Amino acid sequence: MEILATFFNVGLVVATIRTTTPILLVALGGSFTTKAGIFNIGLEGQMLIAAFFAVIGSIWTGSSFGGMLIGVAAALAFALVYAVLVVSFRANEVVVGLALNILAGGMTISLMKAIFGTRGSVVGRGIVGLPKVQLPGARDILGPSYAQLISGYTPLVYVAFLSVPLLVLFYARTRLGLYLRVVGEKPEAAETLGISIARVRYIASLLCGLFAGLAGAHMSLGYITMFTENMSSGRGFMAVAILIFSAGDPLKVLLGCLLFGFADAFSLRLQILNFPSYLILAVPYAVALLALFALSWRTRPKLIRETLETMRNALAGKPQDSGGKLPSDNRP
Amino acid sequence: MIASLLPRNLRRTLAGQLLALAIALALGAVVILMIDENPLRVFATLMRGAFGDSEKIAGTLLQTTPILICGVAACIGLRGGMFNVGIEGQLFLGGFAAAWVGFSFALPPVLHVLVAVAAAVAAGAAWVSVPAYFRVRFGANEVVSTILANYVAVLLTSYFTIFLFKRPGGWSETPPILPSAYLPELFSFSRLNIGLLIGLALAVATALFFRFTTTGYAVTMVGSAPKFAEYGGINVRRAGFGVLLASGAVGGLAGGVETLGVHHRFMEGFAPGFGFDGLIAALLANGSPIGTIFTALFFGALRAGSLLLEVDTTASREIITVIQALIILAVSADLLLRRKGDRTGGRRWKF
């Protein structure tokens, strides 16, 4: 029991929230492009370049906020290139995304060597980390040990988690949200309605870049203030995996990200038990793979799905419903 | 016969790729200026490092070998409509499997090499088989699953190397393989080995397969027009599975050739980025195995040249990754293709 107590405590929840934040931010960004019908594999690169320029920016401007802005600007530049090639030039989105990821990796290492004269990582040198927000009154209400559950995070943690309900409202209640969904689900209908598909997809890509930029800034200026070669280490790809099985739905994205955040936080704790570190490092990727495979079962062939549907209806004594009512169709 | 192996509208394709190359090199020059280096000096150093003397040329060919084999692996996938981004992981597992056979068993000379290579091929195919199964059976996106599998493969081989087979007192590497498992070397002055010939033969064989066999034609159709292939009575799923498996097997072979021919042991990070370089080479060659020979040579030269770059200038060798990425971006824009038809339709990558 004692060993369980060292694993499952308030600290684990706090660690989960921390590790969830960057992947949640980048996955929410990807939800814009997913909803608009673009398969964006370039999230990884946008995050990495933002993390690097956030560090540069915070050194130049001497403030974490300035660093964050410059990081986001770098991610937006990548998102713009992505949109120009994919939307205007109609290039293959996988090829462009992979190329931009490789570009981000090579560029950050080259620039790091040119600016700092080192390989590997940049630590110290006047990097300013994001401040920790102490919520007033949290201590009085929850007591000293539980106050850390809601207080003392960087601002981006709050931004990430508050964005989830905001995005739900955005997709359900705003005109742009509706346009995004139409362009993604039925581009022909969007064209008939006179919606500019290209413009909507550009907006989606840039919104995606904004969130990926925030995710990158949180990686390098959040709880650790440093930049390391390829420090995004596959988080962008995990986000893409989440986007595939959540179809960009913000609530499902949140659930998926919490799963990965938990896997991350939990695997860090496993190191106490002297498990080989290489296997522990592989845990989040393995979880992502398993989730991708397990949930792809949902998209099993239509024939099986419809047979199951009719069988369920017959068992419930309902009349046969030939319309394609999908459970995911939960619009207001 | 060789002419018939090349793409049909060769001139247009070549012109397009060369234009893309020029744009990418111009952009690369801008990036090099950004890091305070002289682009001409950097390019000259790259060329000198790649083709300066016979040893350097052998070094270029040595770098070309894994890129070429990985490129053929990528070509097989691309022709069958599958993006195997997991060649890197298959390479690592193939390399480890070959090394394991190499140092664990004592076999007669030629047989030892054959068994080790077979182990590498099997490891590569086995590693891709799970993503491939879920891809064809349930449509689980193969791009993401193979990328994630790369991370697992690299960490897994590191675990094997350091925790199970570490050479006592050594670096993070396995014991050396027995000399009976060495691939024969071609020249006395370089580690260049018959792996290069294996790669060339494989590229030509793959091109012949796609050009002259019924199965090859069927696979190409599954890749470019799956509906048509299905009407033609081809089992699209089985073809897709076979394509990924073959691609993974070749990826594993690349790793085996690298450990048996060059390093003679498996070590952590023994072949960084070769899988991705191969994919890029295949994309630049537009999915043609014969074209991949030339693009792999180009990227091999860049890699070999980058070693001298690190010594002679302040630029980092990763600048060549930047140039490679820019080339692919420029190629993907496909500036010479006239855009036509519907504005809503899907994206394309023509083969």
Residue B141 contacts residue B213 (beta carbons within 8 Å): no
Residue contact A102–B34, C-beta within 8 A = no
Q: Which of A6-20, A300-314, B174-188 has the lowest mean pLDDT?
A: A300-314
What sign results for the dihedral spanned by CA atoms B127, B130, B136, B141? negative
Average pLDDT, chain A: 83
Residue contact B148–A241, C-beta within 8 A = yes
* B38 vs A: CB within 8 A: no
Task: Kindly list the residues from chain B whose CB atom is less than 8 angstroms away from the CB atom of residue A234.
Answer: 147-148, 151
Specify the DSSP class assigned to residue A271.
G
What sign results for the dihedral spanned by CA atoms B33, B35, B38, B42? negative
**What ipTM describes this predicted complex?**
0.86
Question: Per-residue pLDDT averaged across A29-36, rounded?
Answer: 92
* B55 vs A: CB within 8 A: no
Residue contact A282–B155, C-beta within 8 A = yes
Q: What is the pTM of this model?
A: 0.86
List, for residues B22-53, the tens digit of each pLDDT value.
888 888 888 888 877 788 888 888 888 888 88
Residue contact B159–A114, C-beta within 8 A = no
Task: Kindly list the residues from chain A whose CB atom is less than 8 angstroms away from the CB atom of residue B85.
Answer: 98
* B201 vs A: CB within 8 A: no
Site of tokens 């995304």: A97
Residue contact A188–B315, C-beta within 8 A = no
CA distance A263 to B91: 27
Determine the residue among B322, B326, B336 to mutate to test chain A binding: the one whose Cβ has the most chain A Cβ atoms within 10 Å.
B322
Selected residue with higher pLDDT from A281 and A138:
A281
Residue contact B148–A111, C-beta within 8 A = no
Residue B291 contacts residue B7 (beta carbons within 8 Å): yes
Site of tokens 């390098």: A220
Residues of chain B numbered 236-295 and touching chain A (CB < 8 Å): 276, 279-280, 283
List, for residues A57-112, the tens digit of each pLDDT value.
999 998 888 999 999 999 999 999 999 988 888 888 888 998 999 999 999 998 88
Q: At B204, phi and psi to the nearest 5? A: -65, -45
* Smallest CA–CA distance from A191 into chain B, residue: B344
Residue contact B316–A114, C-beta within 8 A = yes
List, for residues A193-215, the tens digit of each pLDDT value.
888 888 999 999 999 999 999 99
Instruction: Report residue B317 as tokens.
Output: 């060798």
**From the candidate CATH numbers 2.60.40, 1.10.3470, 3.30.1490, 3.40.190, the one assigned to the domain spanning B54-313:** 1.10.3470
* Smallest CA–CA distance from B277 into chain A, residue: A102
Closest CA relative to residue B115, chosen from B43, B177, B197 = B177
CA distance B324 to A106: 9
Helix, strand, coil percentages (3-state) for chain A, rounded to 5, are 75, 0, 25
Domain ranges of chain B: 54-313
Question: Per-residue pLDDT averaged across A135-158, rounded?
Answer: 74
* Smallest CA–CA distance from B32 into chain A, residue: A110
CA distance A43 to A54: 16
List, for residues A238-280, the tens digit of each pLDDT value.
999 888 888 888 999 999 899 888 888 888 777 777 777 788 8
Q: Which of A304-318, B42-56, B322-336 has the lowest mean pLDDT?
A: A304-318
Distances (CA, A) of B131 to A211, B143, B243: 29, 9, 12
Would you state the pLDDT for residue A247? 84
Determine the residue among B32, B96, B138, B310 to mutate to test chain A binding: the one whose Cβ has the most chain A Cβ atoms within 10 Å.
B138
CA distance B348 to B223: 12
* A329 vs B: CB within 8 A: no
Site of tokens 């989105």: A93
CA distance A250 to B227: 34
Binning pLDDT at 50, 70 and 90, where does residue B221 land? confident
- The span from the first CA to the last CA of chain B, in angstroms, equals 20
Site of tokens 């509208």: B9
Buried b (16+ CB within 10 A) or exposed e, B20-49: bbebbeebbbebbeebebebeebbebbeeb
Would you state the pLDDT for residue B339? 44
DSSP E strand stretches across B5-84 = none
Would you state the pLDDT for residue A144? 67
Residues of chain B numbered 162-181 and touching chain A (CB < 8 Å): 162-163
Closest CA relative to residue B325, chosen from B93, B28, B11 = B28
* Smallest CA–CA distance from A283 into chain B, residue: B152
- CB under 8 Å, gap of 24 or more: what pairs does B343-350 form? B343/A191, B343/A197, B343/A198, B344/A187, B344/A188, B344/A190, B344/A191, B344/A197, B347/A86, B347/A90, B347/A91, B347/A92, B347/A93, B348/A90, B348/A92, B349/A91, B349/A92, B349/A95, B349/B78, B350/B286
Instruction: Report residue A190 as tokens.
Output: 């969007």
Selected residue with higher pLDDT from A56 and B309:
A56
CA distance A21 to A25: 6
Q: How many CB pairs under 8 A join A and B?
A: 163
CA distance B69 to B88: 12
Residue contact B148–A289, C-beta within 8 A = yes
* B322 vs A: CB within 8 A: yes
Question: Per-residue pLDDT averaged across B229-234, rounded?
Answer: 86
* B130 vs A: CB within 8 A: yes
CA distance A238 to A283: 12
